[in-house]
């Protein structure tokens, strides 16, 4: 039967922070259906796709009735009749219909939920798991190997994810020494538990942050790094087996070349702030740093990459906002060596894929990522596998909207049996370099 889009339905549902978000169902002529849910970030790059919120007093201004109306009144008539198997054509229609550079007219949340729903529907129509459908449609015939991603998993939340209790937004671990996804997640479970026990013993276990990491009850940023290093050791792992990844999210406390981290009680210029980061790198088992300086500090990104880009993964998130052109520019300038891939930053699945492909062509590492406001949707688990991204960042090892995605990878690995290969340190040529 036909895989043309027959109808759409949009509704308001609730994300992991209890805020409204957009859910879209796409129904095809053959009776199959796909569902997409728009995630939402807390710290956002100024150049990413704009969520359309209602403003006013309802739900703190976060309601999405305007975005829902746009799905039904404008988006649905524009894409009904399109073939769901032609994702590019559907997404190009959405982009042209919105007509803005940042999806501000119809709303990035309306567009990404629709784009995701179309992709889910297409896979369902072919009776394939999404990761396999993606691999079949986006990989070359001789590039059909299935790689399970190296996880980046938050142990301590911070920044905008924890009331700015500390300045570092995410303190995460990377189980580079694991041999399988099952082993990788078991290793993280032990580190997460050890960190909780250490905080409890110190009388500092105050709860969890937005993404499920332990609430950061620390006197300063470095104390958090010390505690995470201790947790890795308490869990029984050497630094070469479990490494630290930091999301600095420096745009949250820096701009114009001046950095004012709240816990440091002083201002730094770019050079001084980079010196702080270099000292941390020399002291702790840190393998990856995301947004080390602010999104407007290209000179700082270039300087930091020149200093340590040969041995540390330097990720652009707010700096690159899942944008292919920005990725190519950053590669030309040697301003980082990896990119975070967030579908809702781009606004459509096709633009997300373009950013990932641009990064691979430039020799960058690619990390598919969730947002702090998430749902039960597990698409990004499938994107990380089907696109052979190599890495996945979901948040912490707690809360069901996070664990749904990690558990989905376990199911994929089990279903593949001996054909699955865990990325591990293979996706990080910098390890040991």
Instruction: Record the tokens describing residue 270, joined without a space.
Output: 């770019």
Is the CB of residue 93 less than 8 Å from the CB of residue 5? no
- Residue 111, domain CATH: 3.30.390.10
pLDDT for the residue numbered 433: 37
Tokens found for residue 316: 């652009």
Residue 427's alpha-carbon distances to 246, 314, 389, in angstroms, are 18, 14, 9
The rounded distance, in Å, linking the Cα atoms of 83 and 85 is: 5
Which residues, at least 6 apart from 77, have a Cβ–Cβ distance to it below 8 Å? Answer: none
Give me the residues paired with residue 304 across strands: none
Question: Are 209 and 312 in a shared domain?
Answer: yes
Same domain, 213 and 355: yes
Residue 432's pLDDT is 38
User: Domain boundary residue among 68, 98, 127?
Assistant: 127
- What is the pTM assigned to this prediction? 0.95
State how beta strands 243-247 and 286-290 pair. parallel
User: Which alpha helices (DSSP H) does 235-376 contain, by range?
Assistant: 270-283, 298-308, 324-333, 343-346, 349-361
Distance CA 103, CA 101 (A): 6
Of all residues in the chain, what percent carry a pLDDT higher than 90? Answer: 82
Same domain, 185 and 60: no
Q: Quick one: 123 and 195 in the same domain?
A: no
User: How much is the pLDDT for 387?
Assistant: 96
Answer yes or no: are the C-beta atoms of 346 and 339 closer than 8 Å.
Answer: no
| Domain membership flag for residue 319 | yes
215 inside domain: yes
Look up residue 243 and give its two tokens: 């490494």
- Do residue 248 and residue 397 come from a single domain? yes
Indicate the burial class of 102 (C-beta count within 10 angstroms; 0-12, 13-18, 19 or more): middle
Indicate left, alpha or beta for 257 from its phi (over 0: left) and psi (-120 to 50: alpha).
left
The answer on 267 and 231 residing in a single domain is yes
Q: Which one-letter DSSP state was computed for residue 104?
A: T
Q: Is residue 193 part of a domain?
A: yes
Confidence (pLDDT) at 429? 55
Structural domain contains residue 280: yes
- 10 Å CB burial of residue 140 (0-12, 13-18, 19+) is exposed
Q: CA torsion 114→115→116→122, rounded to 10°?
A: 110
**Are 114 and 155 within one domain?**
no
The C-alpha atoms of residue 419 and residue 315 are separated, in whole angstroms, by: 30
Compute φ and ψ for 368, nearest 5 degrees.
Answer: -70, 140
Q: How far apart are CA 366 and CA 105, in angstroms?
A: 29
User: Taking Cα atoms as reference points, which of 54, 53, 52, 48 lies closest to residue 101?
Assistant: 48
Report residues of the chain scoring pLDDT below 50.
431-433
At residue 140, the pLDDT reads 60
Q: Are residues 163 and 246 in the same domain?
A: yes
388 and 245, same domain (yes or no): yes
CATH number at residue 211: 3.20.20.120
How many angstroms separate the Cα of 205 from the Cα of each of 88, 171, 232, 234, 273?
47, 16, 17, 17, 29
pLDDT at position 144 is 61
Q: 176 with 262, same domain?
A: yes
Whole-number Å distance between alpha carbons of 223 and 297: 27
The predicted pLDDT at position 265 comes to: 81
Q: Which of 98, 127, 156 is the last residue of a domain?
A: 127
In a domain, 343, yes or no: yes
Domain around 73: 5-127
Contacts (Cβ under 8 Å, ≥6 apart) of 58:
none
Which among 93, 127, 161 is the end of a domain?
127
Q: Which residue is associated with the tokens 């701009």? A: 255
Nearest to 27 by CA among 9, 39, 14: 9
37 shares its domain with 178: no
pLDDT, tens only, 210-231: 888 998 788 889 999 999 999 9
Instruction: State how many domains the chain has.
Output: 2
362 within some domain: yes
> Which are the catalytic amino acids?
211, 342
* Residue 136 covered by a domain: no
Q: Is residue 137 part of a domain?
A: no
Question: Which has the closest alpha carbon to 120: 347, 321, 391, 381?
Answer: 381
Round to whole Å and give the CA distance between 65 and 382.
29
Clarify whether residues 42 and 180 are in a common domain.
no
């Amino acid at each position: 039967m036909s895989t043309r889009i027959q109808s759409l339905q949009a509704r308001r549902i609730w994300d992991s922070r209890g805020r409204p978000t957009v859910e879209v169902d796409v129904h095809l002529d053959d009776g199959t259906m796909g569902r997409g849910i728009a995630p939402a970030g807390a710290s956002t790059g100024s150049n990413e796709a704009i969520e359309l919120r209602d403003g006013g007093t309802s739900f703190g201004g976060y309601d999405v009735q305007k975005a829902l109306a746009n799905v039904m009144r404008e988006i649905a008539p524009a894409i009904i009749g399109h073939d769901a198997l032609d994702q590019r054509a559907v997404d190009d229609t959405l982009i042209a219909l919105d007509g803005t550079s940042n999806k501000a007219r119809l709303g990035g949340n309306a567009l990404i939920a629709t784009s995701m729903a179309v992709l889910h529907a297409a896979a369902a129509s072919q009776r394939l798991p999404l990761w396999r459908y993606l691999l079949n449609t986006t990989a070359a015939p001789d590039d059909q190997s299935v790689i399970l991603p190296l996880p980046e998993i938050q142990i301590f939340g911070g920044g905008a994810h924890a009331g700015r209790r500390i300045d570092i937004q995410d303190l995460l671990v990377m189980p580079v020494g694991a041999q399988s996804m099952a082993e990788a997640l078991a290793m993280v479970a032990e580190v997460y538990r050890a960190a909780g026990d250490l905080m409890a013993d110190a009388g500092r276990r105050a709860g969890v942050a937005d993404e499920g990491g332990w609430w950061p009850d620390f006197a300063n940023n470095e104390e958090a790094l010390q505690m995470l290093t201790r947790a890795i050791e308490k869990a029984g792992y050497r630094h070469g087996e479990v490494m630290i990844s930091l999301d600095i999210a420096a745009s949250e406390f820096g701009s114009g070349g001046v950095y004012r981290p709240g816990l440091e009680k002083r201002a730094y210029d770019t050079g001084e702030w980079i010196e702080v980061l270099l000292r941390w790198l020399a002291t702790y088992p840190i393998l990856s740093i995301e947004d080390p300086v602010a999104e407007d500090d290209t000179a700082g990104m270039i300087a930091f990459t020149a200093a340590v880009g040969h041995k540390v993964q330097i990720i652009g998130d707010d700096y690159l906002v899942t944008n292919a052109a920005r990725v190519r520019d950053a590669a030309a300038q040697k301003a980082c060596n990896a990119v975070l891939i967030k579908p809702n930053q781009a606004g459509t699945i096709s633009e997300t894929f373009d950013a990932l492909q641009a990064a691979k062509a430039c020799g960058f590492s690619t990390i598919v990522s969730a947002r702090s406001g998430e749902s039960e949707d597990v698409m990004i688990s499938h994107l990380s596998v089907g696109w052979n991204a190599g890495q996945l960042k979901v948040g912490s090892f707690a809360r069901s909207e996070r664990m749904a995605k990690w558990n989905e990878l376990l199911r994929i690995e089990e279903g593949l049996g001996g054909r699955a290969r865990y990325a591990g340190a293979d996706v990080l040529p910098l390890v040991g370099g």
